[in-house]
Structure formats: C-alpha cells, structure tokens
Structure 1
C-alpha cells in the first residue's frame, strides 16, 4: 500500500487554477426610473386580465415546454441520487446451482487403489457480497457535487422556461387586446367617414357640392374597411401562437380571449439594482450552477491521479448436496481490500484533466455572457418602458388634438366656411392618430412584460415546476 501511494503521488497534483472572478457590474442602471417606486414586479404582468389568468393557468398545468423542463429536472435529480449512492457500500446477493462433469482421463493413468473420482457433481451456493470505495481523495464526493449543481441548473433553466412562457402568453394577450382597440378606433373612423360620405351625397343631390367630394369620402371609408379586414390575419397568428404555448385547442383559446378586457394600465417600473440580477435571473443562476458543476468535475478528474482503495467482503454457503446447504461446514467467506493506483497511463488522466479545465473555462465564459445578457435586457426593459410611456402620452395628445381639429373642420364645412378637402384631411389625421394611440398603448404594456422578464420574473420552487 505504501509503495502504491508513493507511486501514485508521482502523477498526483492539484488541478489547474482557472480565474473565475465575477464580472464587475455598475452601481445602477443607465435607464433606471428617476425615483424609487413601490411598484411590485408582478404588477408588470396583465394579471387582472381574465384571458391571461386563464391561459397562463392552463399553460402551467399542461404546456409541452414545461413538461420538457420538468423531465430534465427529474433526470438531473436521478443523476444526483445516483452520484450520492455511489459513495455508499454496494451490497449484492446471489444464489447458484452448478453441475460439473469430470473426465477421469485428464488425471493421466490409473488412479491409486482406494481412490475414486466422482465424475458428476452438483454444487449449491448462496452468497452475500459487499464492496465499498472509501473515496480517500474525494473523487466520488466531487462527482456528487457536480450532479447536485446540475440539478440546480436544471431547476433554474425550468424557471427560465416558465417565465418565458408567461411572458409570451402575456404579450400575446396584450397584442390581442391591442388589435381590439385598433379595430374599435378604425370602426369609429369608418362611421365618421360614412357620415361624411352621406353628407357629401346629400349636398351633391342638392347641387351644393360636386360628386367628387362623395367619391373621396367613400374612398376614405374603404381605406378604413381595408385596415379592419387586415387585422384578421394578425388575430389568426396570435391564436395559433397561444395554441402552441398552452397546448389547448384553438376553440378554447378563442373562447378565453373573447372574455371582457379590463381597463388598460401602465404600472410604474419597479426600482432594481444590477447586482440583484445575479440572484433573480434564472438564466444567470443556471449558468452559475453549470460553472459549479464544471469546477466539481475538474476536481473529480484531478482526483483520478490518486490511488483508489476499495474494501470487499463475501459471506456465503456452499454444499454439494442440497440438504447440507445450511450445515455448519457449508459456510464460506472472504474479505480483502484492493488498491488501484495510476503508474504509467501515458497522458490519459492528464487529457481528462485538460478537457475538464476547458469545460470549466467554457462554463465561466457562458456565465459572463449570461450576466451581461441580463444586464443588457434590464437596461433595454427600463429604456423601453420610459420611451413607450413618452410615446403613449404624445400619441394621446395627438389623438385629442386631431379629433378636435376634425370636429372643427366638420363644423366649418357644414357652415360653408371650409371646403370638403379640408374636412377629409382632418378626418384622415384623426383616423390615423386613433389607431397609433391604440398601438402605442399596446407597446407600453408589452414593454412592461419585457421588463418583468428581464428583472427575473417569478421564482417558483423546483417542486412546483416539476409538478
């Protein structure tokens, strides 16, 4: 044993040092809100919308993507359980019946007088065996740590899948409500354009205006009808996307989307710090867990350079007559230990160590990428919320102003103080501004969903995900 330990030490040594210093983060976001708010992160989702509440509940219970994530968690949990079991003794039992036929000629010439050989024998045996790798240098412990880290990574990745699923459903519901608001605005524009066409027709029949005014008014109405018809294709795309996300039939999805919509809301963006992303973003947590797993795998590879001590024992029964199997003389047993030490492997273990070191470098690069991706997503989310709110405010002011101008132009036309072209131009401006305001409101709500996901979203437990 001393010789084996000494020879094993010739190839042993510490694993290579790899710098995994976390990347520095700024003290605050560049697009952070001007003042801290008490808004909650969950308020950024349209939780008050019954369509989102029902669709998200169905998705969390039966979505294909979550089922895949749950299966990966169970696979990682089984791997962790197996790695932990490898550190414990392995106990097995067996029973056997063996028949042997011997040729006496194999012993040469005639046997001495009084000596005979039973050429046919049947042996009955039962054994209890045990073996145990003492793991003196932590190889099995390192593999168990790696398996536990991979379980943590699978859990964090499942959380990321869950958050992405909720964000996609929220965005789809918001898009559906935005289409409804755009159609409502276009429908109002159509009714106003049809009113202008009727007025122009009345004045044409009275000889007060040319027929060209009526034709132009009807063309404006047709343009509104065309834009309304174009919304149907967008609805089909949204419904199809929700079928994929939720695993529900199209009829069920459309039934839920037809529920009454609440009043649109733009809650304030909650304040956060870049350092909080390290604890809240599931993709960053998954990358950190994968880095820990790679570090443990490197330690396990380095431990292969040290000797492995295994204890073994066997206790059994052996008899050549079934009736004598449990007699005192049938008991047999062995006990011993084995020491396996690398002497000349011609670089095999070093190659494993180099591969594990490369995996750790890759895991650290992935971790840094996840951190900066999270930082960029959060900056984008805060910036989009602020920009979308400014756009919405401007669009609402534009709509109010355009509607006043359209009403004023209509009043002046009826009084004979302006021509029909002025009325049409004012009507076109009001029509376009109403639809733009509805679209801007949808973008403002969508920006909040993006910020919710960028800041980490929900953090459910692994048990709730696997369920």
Structure 2
C-alpha cells in the first residue's frame, strides 16, 4: 500500500491525517498515454482558455465566472455550509441567558363569624443570569463541529467543480458555434460548386452531348447539399442559445460573432505527474473533505455511547420590593451538575454509529474511484488529442487530393472529355472531405478542453526556489 500523503503533501486537506482511513491507492509514476513525462512542461495556467488566442472566448469565459447562475448557487451553498458549521460549533461554548420577572399574586379572602377578611396581595421581583455547559469529555461536540467544518470545505471544492464544468461548457459551446459556421460556409461553397456542375451538364444536354440521367444525378447532389444546411443552422442556433444561458442572459441580448476554427491556435499542454493531479482536481479534493467529515461523524457517534456531563448554574436577585432588589441579602444562586448515561434506547445509538461507519466506507470507496477515474480521464484525453491530431493531418492530405481531383474533373467536363460518373464521384468525395475536416478540427479542440477539465482546470504557478535558499 502506498502512503498517499507523500504524493499529496502540498494539499491542505490530506486525507491521511490521524484517524482517517488509508485509501490504499497505487499512484502511477506517469500517464500511460503520455509520450514523455515532463513535470516542468507547460502545465495548465489559471486562465487556460487564453491559450486559444480568441478574444471573444476570453470575454465569454470571464463573464460566465461572474454571472453564471450555477456558480452563484454553489456560492450560496458555501454560505449555508459555513452557517451550519457555526451552528454546530456553538455546542462547544457555554450558553448564557438572563431573565427579569415581576410576579403579582393575591390570596382569596377568608370568612369567619360572618366577617369577611380581604385577600392579601403579594408582589415580588427577580432578576437572574443562567449558564449551562456540557463537558465535551468524549469529543462528541468537537467531532460534530469538525464534521461540519469539513463539509463546508467540501462545499468550496464543489463550487470549483461547478465553475470548471461551466467553463468547459462555454468553451465547448463556442467551438461548436465556430464549427457550425465553418460547415455552413463549406456547404454554401459546395452548393455553388454543385450548381456550376449542374449548369455545365445542362449546357451539354442542350448541345446534345448530355443525358437526362446525368442531369437528374447532379440535381440530386445539389439538393442533398442544400438539405444539409438547415441542420447546421439548427446546431448553430442551439449552441448560441447555450452560450446565452451560460452567461445568464436571454439569447436576444447576446451577440456572438464567432468566425472560424482556423483562427484558433490550439495550445500545447503537458499533464504533469499523476501525483500532482490529486491536489489539482476539485472533485478529488471535494471527496477528500467529505471523507474527513464522515470520519469525524463516526467519532461523534461513538462518543454518544458514553455519559453526558452537564453543568448548570443560576444566580440573581429576588425581592418583594423593587427598591431593595439588588441588595446583598436579596441575592441567590444555585449550581447543578448532572450526568446522563444511556442504558436502553432500542438500539438507536448503535444504529446511528453503524450508519456513520457505513457512510464513511461509502465515501472512502467513492474517493478511491474518483482518484482512479481521474487518471483514466487524463489518459483518455491524451489519447483523444493524439488520435484527432493524426486524423486531422490525414484529412488535410485527403482534402488536398480531393480538391485537385475535382478541379481536374470540372475542367474536363467543360472540355467535353470527362465521364459524368467521375465528376459525380470527385465532387462527392470533395464535399465529404471538407465537412470531415471541419469535424476533425472540432474534435481536436474538444479533446484539448477535455484534457484541461481532466487536469482540474488551471494550476497555480510553481514557486521557483531562490538560488541562495538553504
């Protein structure tokens, strides 16, 4: 078993503190899909989206961080958790209360020998101060307070998870907008090319060198290209609306220019070392804090088996005359110490202890899965970047050859020497290659974003050690 604290020493909330369960995880030395493990490489910066060199994307990212409603809701949950931590922590302090009272009473009159005596009126005044305190000898209240503090810490990391998911969604939606715009432009160029071929075939048919079959085939090609445009425009509109939602504005008030995927500069980023991932991914840190909270809850539940020691004190003044209320002879006080030991409760305390232990074990397994899944996420992203980059390179070669073949076939068609089947095949191949290239560009950008997400977003810059440091 590996002592995980050594791998995540910089973490403020390392899970292998005293009394916490050992997750027994084997942290790999490097990522399987990484060709070269270079811990000093270009790890993600805090503003990682600037690496794509898009001013509009940067503006959307910065706006989403300040106005996104999911992030705002997560921030509100932090305030709730902090308040709950203060509520629970109040049990560690004594409680004080003061009271003032005026008591007026009148006795009933008595009747004797036909004579009636009037009742007696009694007025008394009192002022008191009461204090109570439970000795937390077994750590029940201390562990309960620690549990809520760790829950508040987990809520902060949960906010980071929401923020990272939001930024990832903004980047993906923006790239989808650019890809849709590119594909629409490509479709419009293809429609124009198909129309030129149709005009050429129409001219051959008029001259008697073409056939109705050739004309019908090309009309089908042109119609298919035109039919491909509406779904692309629908995708464009949906992603524009998604961006508007992410920046918490109605679509009518958001203007996104977009442009082309060709204007973006895909950044280069190295994943660092797997051990560093444990201190960077907010979902791992969240699970770590939740496990610490559950462990503290187990301690609090265990302490309920032991006696509860309560101290109560009260003191003040009591007098029948307001003017003499605060005289020394009107003072009174009382001190009470109590001990309560559970004897029989129908198994409630034992069941509560079993529940907290089972919850702790569940969170331990969830923590382990989150860590293992994080390594797989990084490897998947690295593989995706490598393969989409390779596919993009090959598709560029396909597009170059397809464009050349189409140009030659169009020239031969106008010269009257081309076979119509060859023309149809070359234009369809070109149309497919152009669209596939746009989709491959999008896939590579999405893979890069997935790597940023898998690494936990931006990393704090590493502090360089001074030369004269000891």
The structure-2 alpha-carbon separation of the partners of 1:352 and 1:212, relative to structure 1 and needing over 3 Å to count, comes to: closer
42, 45, 55: which one aligns with 1:39: 42
Q: Secondary structure at the match of 1:256?
A: coil
Cα deviation for residue 259 of structure 1 reads 6.9
Deviations 1:230-284 (A, max 9, x none): 212212322333343332101233x125578771232234132322222111111
User: CA contact under 8 A between 1:395 and 1:436: conserved in structure 2?
Assistant: yes
The structure-2 alpha-carbon separation of the partners of 1:217 and 1:130, relative to structure 1 and needing over 3 Å to count, comes to: same
The structure-2 alpha-carbon separation of the partners of 1:44 and 1:262, relative to structure 1 and needing over 3 Å to count, comes to: farther
Q: Which deviates more, 124-133 or 36-45?
A: 36-45
Question: Corresponding residue for 2:30?
Answer: 28
- 1:361-400 matches, within 5 Å, as 361-400=361-400
User: CA contact under 8 A between 2:48 and 2:458: conserved in structure 1?
Assistant: no
CA distance in 2, matches of 1:339, 1:291: 32
Segments of 5+ residues of structure 2 without an aligned counterpart are 1-18, 461-470
CA distance in 2, matches of 1:44, 1:32: 20
CA distance in 2, matches of 1:55, 1:44: 13
Q: Which deviates more, 279-288 or 128-137?
A: 128-137
User: CA contact under 8 A between 2:181 and 2:259: conserved in structure 1?
Assistant: no
User: CA contact under 8 A between 2:108 and 2:118: conserved in structure 1?
Assistant: no
The structure-2 alpha-carbon separation of the partners of 1:117 and 1:142, relative to structure 1 and needing over 3 Å to count, comes to: farther
Question: Corresponding residue for 1:340?
Answer: 340
Cα deviation for residue 438 of structure 1 reads 0.4
Question: Corresponding residue for 1:248?
Answer: 249
Matched, 1:145 2:146: yes
User: CA contact under 8 A between 1:197 and 1:215: conserved in structure 2?
Assistant: no
CA distance in 1, matches of 2:57, 2:315: 65
- Tell me: higher relative CO, structure 1 or 2? Use CA pairs within 8 A at least 6 residues apart: 1
Matched, 1:98 2:98: no
Cα deviation for residue 225 of structure 1 reads 1.3
Question: Corresponding residue for 1:88?
Answer: 93
CA distance in 2, matches of 1:356, 1:368: 18
Question: Corresponding residue for 1:228?
Answer: 229
- 1:294-313 matches, within 5 Å, as 294-313=294-313
The structure-2 alpha-carbon separation of the partners of 1:260 and 1:299, relative to structure 1 and needing over 3 Å to count, comes to: same
Deviations 1:293-329 (A, max 9, x none): 1110111111122233333322322222233323333
CA distance in 2, matches of 1:436, 1:262: 14
CA distance in 2, matches of 1:192, 1:162: 45
Question: Corresponding residue for 1:426?
Answer: 426
User: CA contact under 8 A between 1:125 and 1:317: conserved in structure 2?
Assistant: yes
Question: Corresponding residue for 2:83?
Answer: 78
Count of residue pairs the alignment pairs up: 435
Compute the TM-score of the two structures, normalised by the length of structure 1.
0.85
Segments of 5+ residues of structure 1 without an aligned counterpart are 1-16, 111-115, 461-467
Cα deviation for residue 212 of structure 1 reads 4.1
User: CA contact under 8 A between 2:178 and 2:258: conserved in structure 1?
Assistant: no
Question: Corresponding residue for 1:58?
Answer: 63
CA RMSD of aligned residues (A): 2.7
Q: Which deviates more, 295-304 or 185-194?
A: 185-194
CA distance in 1, matches of 2:172, 2:430: 27
CA distance in 2, matches of 1:209, 1:262: 40
- 1:121-136 matches, within 5 Å, as 121-136=122-137
Q: Secondary structure at the match of 2:423?
A: helix
Q: Secondary structure at the match of 1:32?
A: coil
CA distance in 2, matches of 1:131, 1:186: 79
Q: Secondary structure at the match of 1:305?
A: coil
Q: Secondary structure at the match of 1:335?
A: strand
- 1:160-309 matches, within 5 Å, as 160-253=161-254, 255-258=255-258, 263-309=263-309
User: CA contact under 8 A between 1:33 and 1:271: conserved in structure 2?
Assistant: no
Q: Which deviates more, 26-35 or 277-286?
A: 26-35
Compute the TM-score of the two structures, normalised by the length of structure 2.
0.85
Cα deviation for residue 454 of structure 1 reads 1.0
The structure-2 alpha-carbon separation of the partners of 1:244 and 1:22, relative to structure 1 and needing over 3 Å to count, comes to: farther
User: CA contact under 8 A between 2:240 and 2:256: conserved in structure 1?
Assistant: no
CA distance in 2, matches of 1:225, 1:56: 34
Question: Corresponding residue for 1:9?
Answer: none
Deviations 1:367-402 (A, max 9, x none): 122222222222211111111111111111111111
Cα deviation for residue 18 of structure 1 reads 8.7
Matched, 1:159 2:160: yes
Cα deviation for residue 118 of structure 1 reads 6.9
